[in-house]
Chains A and B, each alone.
Chain A
Amino acid sequence: MRAVEPRRHKGTDVKLIIATIKPFKLEEVREALTSQGVRGMMVTEIKGFGSQSGHTEIYRGAEYAVNFVPKVKLEIVVPEGLAEQVVATIARTARTDKIGDGKIFVLDVESALRVRTGEINDDAL
C-alpha cells in the first residue's frame, strides 16, 4: 500500500499571489487590500503584453513598435485563509472592463521567514 502523505506542513498555509494591474490602479488596490488585513506587499514596475497588443509611434521620422505596455506587478504573501479574499479584492478594484486589466496567479509557498525575529510560515506574515 502506498502511503500518500497529506501535505499538511505548516508551509502550505502560505500562498503567494502575483497580480499584474494597470499602474494607475495601484493606490486603489493597495487601500482595498490593507483594509482587508493585508499587512505587506511588494510592488514592481514592469512592462508586458497579453491580449492588449502594442502600437506604433514615430521618433524623429522613424517608426517603431511599442510592443510592451507599462504595468505594475504585485506580489503578496498571505495565509491560505486570506488568499481567496485577496484575489477577489484585487480583481474587483483593478477591473476597468477594458483589455489590459491584468491577471492574478496564486502559488503555494514552501516556507516563509521573518528576518528580524526568525519566525516562520504563518507567523512570518
Chain B
Amino acid sequence: MTNWKTPLRGLAPLACLMAGPAFAQEAAEAAEPAALEAGIAAATDTAFILNTLLFLIGGFLVFWMAAGFAMLEAGLVRSKNVAMQCMKNVALFSLAGIMYYLIGYNLMYPLGNWSIGSDETGGYIGAFGVAVMEAVGIGRDAADDYGYAATSGDFFFQLMFAATTASIVSGTLAERIKLWPFLIFTIVLTGLIYPIQASWKWGGGFLDSQWGFLDFAGSTVVHSVGGWAALAGALVLGARAGKFKDGRVIPMPGSNLALATLGTFILWMGWFGFNGASQLAMGTVGDVADIGRIFANTNAAAAGGAVAALVFTQLLYKKPDITMVLNGALAGLVSITAEPLTPTLGAATLIGAVGGVIVVFAVPMLDRMKIDDVVGAIPVHLFCGIWGTIAVLFTNPDATLAGQIVPIVIVGVFTFVVSLVVWMVLKAVMGIRVGEEAEVTGLDMAELGMEAYPDFTPS
C-alpha cells in the first residue's frame, strides 16, 4: 500500500500557518483528522486512476493482437483465401465484443451472485445480465469498486481476452470453413463457453476457491480454450482438399510471409498488455515494478521460443523455417502467460524455449495424425497453454501439482466436449464446410465474390 502518511506530514505545518502561531499546536491537532482523510482519499483516488489506466492501456494493447492474428493468418493462407480470413477476423472480433456485453461479462464476473454455486463452496455458473458501466462523471462515492478500478475499464480489458480466445480458432480452420457457421460458433464460444470456464478461475469460481488454481493471464483460460475449440473444429471439419494424399503431407505455402511476420510482432507487442495488465493493479511501487517484471519476462519467453524454433528447424531440416520461428515466438509467449511475474529472466527464457521446441515437433505430429491446422494454432495455444500452466509449478511456490493439473483437465474436457457438440450440431444443421469447387476456386471468390489481389500482380 502507498505510504499515505507522507502527504499528511506535509499538510500539518500548512494547517499551523493558517491557524496562527498562538494556536499552532491545537490547530495542527484539529487539522490532522481532515488532512488525514484527504490524504487517504487522494492516494486511493490515485490507485483507482492508475489501476483503471492499466486496464485501458492493457485493453488496447490486447485489442492490437486482433490485428496481429489477422495479419498472421492472412499471410499464412493462400492468396485465394486472404480476404475471407480477414473477414473472419474482423467479424469474430466484433461479435465477441457484443456477446461479452450481452452475456459474457456478468457470467464471468458474478461478484458473488452465482446462479449455481457460491463463493465459499465453489461457483459454477455466474450471473445473467448485460454489462453495465458506472454512470457518466462519477465521483469516488459512486464507483462500483472504489478500491479497485472503474467497471468501464475492467469490462473493456476483459472483453479483449474473450475476443483473443475466439481469434485462435479462425487460424486452424482456415481455407475450407463456411463463414456463418464459424461466426455462430464464435457467438457460443464468447457468450457461453469462454465466460463460464473463465468464471471458474478469474470470477472466483470453484477452480480458484476449491483448487487454488494459478493462471495469471490465461495459458489455460484463454489459450488452451481457444486451442481445444480449434481442435474440436478441425476434427469435425476435416482437412483441406489435397492436404493429405497417398500417405504424404502436401505443403500449402502461405501467400505473404512478410505479413505473417508483421502479425507475429504485433501479437508480441500486444502480449505486453495481455500479461502486464493482468497484474490488475498499478497503484503501488510493488505493482508497477511487478508489471515491469512481467513485460521483461514476456519478452524473454518470446525470444526463447523463437530461438529454440530457429535452432531446431535448422538442425532437423538443414534450413530454418521462418513460419516455425514465428510460431516459436508465439509459443514462448503462450508458455509464459500462466506465470509471467515470478520467474527470473533466465527461467522465463527457458520456459519460452521449451514452448518453441514443443511446436517444432507438434506441427508435423498433427500432420501425421491427419489433423490439418493451417497456422499451427493447436501446437501454439493448446499444447503450450498446457505446458505454460504446468510451468507455474517451477517458479511459483503457491502452485500445487493437483491444483494445476486437475483444472487443466476440467477446462479441457468442458471446452472440448461442448465445442465438439456445437460443431457437430452446426455440421448437421447447416454444414460447416464449403463445397469442393468453392475450396478449389478459393473462399474469396466463392464466399465473398471478391479477391484480395484482383490485379495482375506487378513483378
Seen from chain A, the residues whose Cβ lies within 8 Å of a Cβ on chain B are: 45, 57-64
Q: Is the CB of B253 within 8 A of A59?
A: yes
Q: Is the CB of B364 within 8 A of A61?
A: yes
- Chain B 310-344 against A: per-residue CB contact (8 Å), 1 yes, 0 no? 00000011010101100000000000000000000
Q: Is the CB of A60 within 8 A of B251?
A: yes
CA gap between A10 and B249 in the complex, in Å: 56
Q: Is the CB of B367 within 8 A of A61?
A: yes
Task: Collect the chain A residues with CB atoms within 8 Å of residue B321's CB.
Answer: 58-61
Would you call B376 an interface residue if the criterion is a C-beta within 8 Å of the partner chain's C-beta atoms?
yes
How far is the CB of B392 from the nearest CB of chain A, in Å?
29
Task: Collect the chain A residues with CB atoms within 8 Å of residue B376's CB.
Answer: 60
CA gap between A59 and B250 in the complex, in Å: 9
Secondary structure type dominating chain A contacts: strand
How far is the CB of A58 from the nearest CB of chain B, in Å?
5
CA gap between A57 and B250 in the complex, in Å: 11
Contact of A60 among B248, B319, B324, B459 (CB under 8 A): B324
Task: Collect the chain A residues with CB atoms within 8 Å of residue B319's CB.
Answer: 57-58
Task: Collect the chain A residues with CB atoms within 8 Å of residue B317's CB.
Answer: 58, 61
Task: Collect the chain A residues with CB atoms within 8 Å of residue B324's CB.
Answer: 60-61
A-B contact pairs, 28 of them (CB 8 A): A57-B319, A58-B317, A58-B319, A58-B321, A59-B251, A59-B253, A59-B321, A60-B251, A60-B321, A60-B323, A60-B363, A60-B364, A60-B367, A60-B376, A61-B249, A61-B316, A61-B321, A61-B363, A61-B364, A61-B367, A62-B248, A62-B249, A62-B250, A62-B364, A63-B248, A63-B249, A63-B251, A64-B250
Most chain A CB within 10 A, of B319, B323, B459, is at: B459
How far is the CB of A6 from the nearest CB of chain B, in Å?
43
Chain B residues numbered 26-85 whose CB sits less than 8 Å from any CB in chain A: none
Closest A residue, CB atoms, query B318: A58
How far is the CB of B321 from the nearest CB of chain A, in Å?
6
Chain B residues numbered 218-259 whose CB sits less than 8 Å from any CB in chain A: 248-251, 253
CA gap between A59 and B254 in the complex, in Å: 10
How far is the CB of A55 from the nearest CB of chain B, in Å?
12
CA gap between A57 and B316 in the complex, in Å: 13
How far is the CB of B76 from the nearest CB of chain A, in Å?
9
CA gap between A45 and B248 in the complex, in Å: 30
CA gap between A110 and B388 in the complex, in Å: 72
Closest B residue, CB atoms, query A72: B459
Q: Is the CB of A59 within 8 A of B323?
A: yes
Task: Collect the chain B residues with CB atoms within 8 Å of residue A62's CB.
Answer: 248-251, 364, 367
Task: Collect the chain A residues with CB atoms within 8 Å of residue B253's CB.
Answer: 59
Closest A residue, CB atoms, query B375: A60
Task: Collect the chain A residues with CB atoms within 8 Å of residue B251's CB.
Answer: 58-60, 62-64
How far is the CB of A21 from the nearest CB of chain B, in Å?
15
CA gap between A57 and B317 in the complex, in Å: 9
Closest A residue, CB atoms, query B319: A58
CA gap between A62 and B243 in the complex, in Å: 11
CA gap between A62 and B459 in the complex, in Å: 28
CA gap between A64 and B251 in the complex, in Å: 6
Closest A residue, CB atoms, query B364: A61
